[in-house]
Amino acid sequence: MNQIDIVNIKRASDYIRYLSLESIEKAKSGHPGLPLGCANLGAILYRYILTFSPKDPLWANRDRFVLSAGHGSALLYSLLHLTGYKISLDDLDQFRQKGSRTPGHPEFDRELGIETTTGPLGQGFANSVGMAIEGKILADRFNDEEYNLFDYTIFTLMGDGCMMEGISYEAASLAGHLGLDNIVAIYDSNHISIDGHTDITFNDDVAKRFEAMNWDVASCDIIELDSLYNKLNSFKQKKGQPKLLIVKTIIGDGLDKKKDTSAIHGSPAGPEEIAYFIRNSEVRSLFENKYGADTVENTEELALKVSERAKNREPMLEFPEASDFMIQHIEENQKKYKTWTELLKKYKASHPAKYDELDSILNFTLPEELKKTLTEFKEEKPDATRNIAGRVLNLCAKKIPQIIGGCADLVGSTKAGVNGSTYLNKNDFSGRNIAFGIREHAMGAIGNGLGLNGSLIPFTSTFFTFLDYMKPAVRLAALMKLNHLFIFSHDSIYVGEDGPTHQPIEHLNSLRLIPDLLTFRPANDTETAFSFLYFLEKMNGPAAIITSRQNMAAAVFNRSSNNTSKYKEFCNGAYIFHETNKKLNPDVILAASGSELGIAVEAAFELEKSKQLNVRVVSIPCLELFSAAGQDYKGKIMDSKPAPVVLIEAASHRAVDVFYDPNLLAIDIQSFGLSAPGNAVGEHFGFTVRQVLQKIEDIL
């Protein structure tokens, strides 16, 4: 087998340890244990195994490295610095400081070589599974015997915490089922977590667990550098199964008293420990050249220098021998990159139609024909918005081949599937549906992985009540501004007989609390189509579309003859849906979203008829867009003085009534749901036209 340069690997590894230790010491914050324990692994990966191009960090066929154990970010930043990415020694010096390129946990930035945001343990691993699925899809669509355009591998580094999190079980199970042989997971098995040795809580046989999930498993010791290299290299080439390499490491390797203890997991090593490392490592010569051999030999003096360097933020010491060794791999990779770009040119000439499809996938634009279709969309009769959303999704999927996704075993209920297309399976990745199974948490994170590279537009779907099982992934999609569409059905109490466990009365506003996520709760056919259109037109982050199980009221269907104008209003998040007389000030404003818009409209009709009131009905399909619409627009829609505003929404607005204006009445839900037929549940909570009218009359 190929041999590696052991001497230079050890030198580079110690330099990585030094960079990590000093950057964390200067920040007085961070996690040095993993970078010290996995420095050898990182050096081998980036020097010999990974194929990448810092000159074109978005290269579609690059290998990906995901640090699922994101607390060890200093390792990743040091490696990216040494391999030509735009992370300098000054950036390492600014570790965890405001506005730096080196935050506490890796934050998604492909230009810097950071493939995903990690930190919540297990998420990065599940993202990696999604990235591997993307690789299989691209290979299936565009590779042939002559043109092997996509053959990249996903490498992900997991820790004991990742292994404990339930999301890892879910994601690994699906990866094994699909036979994703383009993913290599590496388990940093150091048996230490924050509270101490893992034997207080974790004694799984990880190898057997993954073997049971159809993974190919091997193990080695971190000090066995040749074995580590050979097994990684072999796993990259091996086909048929996803691979797990269990690497026995020592947390805090290279230190004195803190090595192999929980004390080094999440706190700076301290000057004395760093001095010990310097004296007993390959970086000793750097400090001897800088401060003299006598200073390095004297433990107290060296510790003082370390402390002063951190306090004064003195520049990191350069180590040309280590840097030159690591940078050699870039030259080798550039040859692979050039070969690939030449292959792509030949592909363009020989497969022009396929090349155009690939180009459209890598550079998405919304088809004008689809935009027109969605703008003019209408249904013939009232229906549940889950059914409408399913039809709209398929209109979009016909025109946009990037759309791919699936449900947590609920396609028949949420209607979120691509009709006429198969499920992905280990022998065929040509389909556009993913059978995620009952794995909501992994589904959300795998969907994020599908969306990281920008070549696919993922959708994932389940009952709204199961948002609780995937909320961390929804939050990370928003944090990274991924174009991931979440479709949640069975939106509230009208689920009925399934009872309070399936009636997500608090979930709507919990989604609205997530920054950079748009939450759409459409009330009819046009609003459902508009929700999809807005997401696809803007492509500036995730959106959640919340749909109903029950049919919407007939009063809210086929209401507009000019949907182009209505879409412009919709983009403001709220608009006047109905008004008795536009020339007069309203006597009362009824505002609602989703299914409650029908109640508001029917109540308005009754108030007009029985009380001769001038009633305005406002639909609020997206509260976040309405909040951002500006005071002038909001005033135009909702400025009611002296007329009261009645907000009707079958969701919890718990505790915010403290801040309500006396002129505002909220008809909402303040308790868990009830097991009964949907109409009976609605009546129990006061969501009938008669009950709403009574409350309106009381406030008037």
pLDDT over 60 at 26, yes or no: yes
Residue 560 or 79, more confident: 79
At residue 382's C-alpha, the angle toward residues 378 and 383, to 5°, is 100
Residue 515's closest CA among 546, 479, 491, 467? 479
Residues paired with 592 in a beta bridge:
619, 648
- Residue 544 binned pLDDT confidence (cut-offs 50, 70, 90): very high
Q: What pLDDT is recorded for position 561? A: 62
Q: What pLDDT is recorded for position 1? A: 44
Mean pLDDT of 342-370: 96
- The answer to whether 134 is a known catalytic residue is no
pLDDT over 60 at 667, yes or no: yes
The tokens describing 476, both together, are 């990370």
Pair 667, 486: CB distance under 8 Å? no
Domains of the chain, residue spans: 6-327, 368-555, 573-699
Pair 21, 274: CB distance under 8 Å? yes
Q: Are strands 575-579 and 615-619 parallel, antiparallel or unpaired?
A: antiparallel
pLDDT (tens digit per residue) in 361-377: 999 999 999 999 999 99
- CA gap 180, 115 in Å, rounded: 19
User: Fold match between 6-327 and 368-555?
Assistant: yes
- Residue 661 binned pLDDT confidence (cut-offs 50, 70, 90): confident
Q: Are strands 243-248 and 183-189 parallel, antiparallel or unpaired?
A: parallel
Q: What pLDDT is recorded for position 603? A: 97
Class of domain 573-699: alpha beta
Dihedral Cα 226, 228, 233, 235, nearest 10 deg: 140
pLDDT over 90 at 501, yes or no: yes
Q: CATH classification of 6-327 is 3.40.50.970, yes or no?
A: yes
Provide the 8-state DSSP code for 382: -
pLDDT (tens digit per residue) in 444-478: 999 999 999 999 999 999 999 999 999 999 999 99
The tokens describing 218, both together, are 């091997």
Helix (H) or strand (E) holding 167: helix 166-178
Count of CA atoms in the C-beta half-sphere (13 A) of 488: 31
Mean pLDDT of 682-689: 93
Supply the pTM of this predicted model: 0.97
Pair 446, 486: CB distance under 8 Å? no
What percent of the chain lies above the pLDDT cut of 70?
Answer: 99
- Residue 17 binned pLDDT confidence (cut-offs 50, 70, 90): very high
Mean pLDDT of 179-184: 98
pLDDT (tens digit per residue) in 558-579: 776 678 889 999 999 999 999 9
- Residue 2 binned pLDDT confidence (cut-offs 50, 70, 90): low
Q: Which of 25, 440, 527, 596 is catalytic?
A: 440
pLDDT (tens digit per residue) in 47-73: 999 999 999 999 999 999 999 999 999
pLDDT over 80 at 596, yes or no: yes
Q: Are strands 64-67 and 216-221 parallel, antiparallel or unpaired?
A: unpaired
Fold observed for domain 368-555: Rossmann fold (3.40.50)
Mean pLDDT of 434-439: 98
pLDDT over 90 at 588, yes or no: yes
Mean pLDDT of 601-610: 96
Residue 590, SS3 per DSSP? strand
Residue 324's closest CA among 630, 47, 118, 657? 47
Pair 614, 585: CB distance under 8 Å? yes
Q: What pLDDT is recorded for position 699? A: 85
What is the DSSP code string of 676-698? Answer: S-HHHHHHHTT-SHHHHHHHHHH
Residue 373's closest CA among 351, 401, 394, 347? 394
- CA gap 198, 514 in Å, rounded: 33
- Residue 96 binned pLDDT confidence (cut-offs 50, 70, 90): very high
163: Cβ contacts below 8 Å, ≥ 6 apart = 187, 202, 204, 206
When the pLDDT of each residue in the chain is averaged and rounded to a whole number, the result is: 96
